[in-house]
């Protein structure tokens, strides 16, 4: 198993545009969480999905949305991009308990 | 609201010397705490969790509820310990709050 995978690795968007980030969890993991990591800060929780249902949402505006598919992969969508959305977006998956396995991240740059 | 504080952004330690990375938390519930590590060009990975009380790569961490701390310790630093270390608090159902991280550099 390659572990948690995320795509794309990098992308550059313009203010006001929309972006979709993708995550494939480790096989057998049913929970996926998304985090935003701004340079110099620790990861900040955005969303958690379990069995295709939203289980939690962090303190992020409604421009951020996510979903989980029947195969447990997940998408994070951000609308009306702002310069402040530039960050590394991390996906993590877990099976049970609290051990989360992180992906390599998608680095988003908004210009 | 939950909070995790790592007071040191940078920490340099000589090889063979003891290491202590500080972590303090505030949380009204029963805390579940973790240390994550990120080596250069690698993804974030779990180092240890307090409930397992394991020693991983020579590191240990004890949860002190009285002082609301979860400091990471290692008696003898090795060069391969150089990395970014994050303390994290589970605030319910696998949602984590992270500290700002400490970059540990081991001086040969």
pLDDT surpassing 70 at residue A97: no
Look-up of token digits 């010397």 = B17
Say yes or no: A59 contacts chain B, CB-CB below 8 A: no
Question: Which segments of chain B have a pLDDT < 70?
Answer: 93
Given CB atoms, is A104 within the 8 Å cutoff of chain B? yes
Least confident residue range of A22-26, A65-69, A91-95: A91-95
Helix (H) or strand (E) holding B4: strand B3-5
Please give the average per-residue pLDDT across A14-27, as a whole number: 97
Burial class (CB in 10 A: 0-12, 13-18, 19+), A83: exposed
B62 near B48, Cβ under 8 Å? no
**With bands split at pLDDT 50, 70 and 90, how would you rate the model's confidence at A99?**
confident
Of all residues in chain A, what percent are helix, strand and coil, respectively (each to 5)? 5, 50, 45
**Closest Cβ–Cβ partner in B32, B45, B93 for A56:** B93
Contact B88, B33 (CB under 8 A): yes
- Mean pLDDT value across residues A18-29: 96
The answer to whether residues A108 and A40 touch, using CB atoms and an 8 Å cutoff, is: no
């Amino acid at each position: 198993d390659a572990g948690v995978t995320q795509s794309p690795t990098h992308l550059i968007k313009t203010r006001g545009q929309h972006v979709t980030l993708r995550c494939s969890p480790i096989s057998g993991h049913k929970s996926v969480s998304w985090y935003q990591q701004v340079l110099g800060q620790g990861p900040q929780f955005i969303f958690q999905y379990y069995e295709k249902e939203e289980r939690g949402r962090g303190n992020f505006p409604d421009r951020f949305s996510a979903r989980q598919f029947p195969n447990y992969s997940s998408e994070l969508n951000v609308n009306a991009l702002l310069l402040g959305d530039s960050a590394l977006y991390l996906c993590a998956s877990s099976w049970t308990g609290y051990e989360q396995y992180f992906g390599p991240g998608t680095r988003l740059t908004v210009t | 609201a939950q909070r995790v504080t790592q007071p040191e952004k940078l920490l340099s330690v000589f090889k063979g010397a003891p290491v202590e990375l500080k972590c303090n938390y505030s949380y009204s519930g029963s805390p579940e705490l973790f240390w994550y590590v990120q080596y250069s060009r690698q993804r974030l990975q779990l180092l240890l969790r307090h409930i397992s009380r394991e020693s991983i790569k020579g590191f240990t961490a004890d949860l002190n509820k009285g002082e609301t701390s979860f400091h990471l310790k290692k008696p003898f630093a090795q060069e391969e310990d150089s990395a970014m270390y994050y303390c994290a608090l589970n605030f319910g159902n696998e949602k984590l709050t992270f500290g700002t991280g400490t970059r540990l550099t081991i001086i040969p």
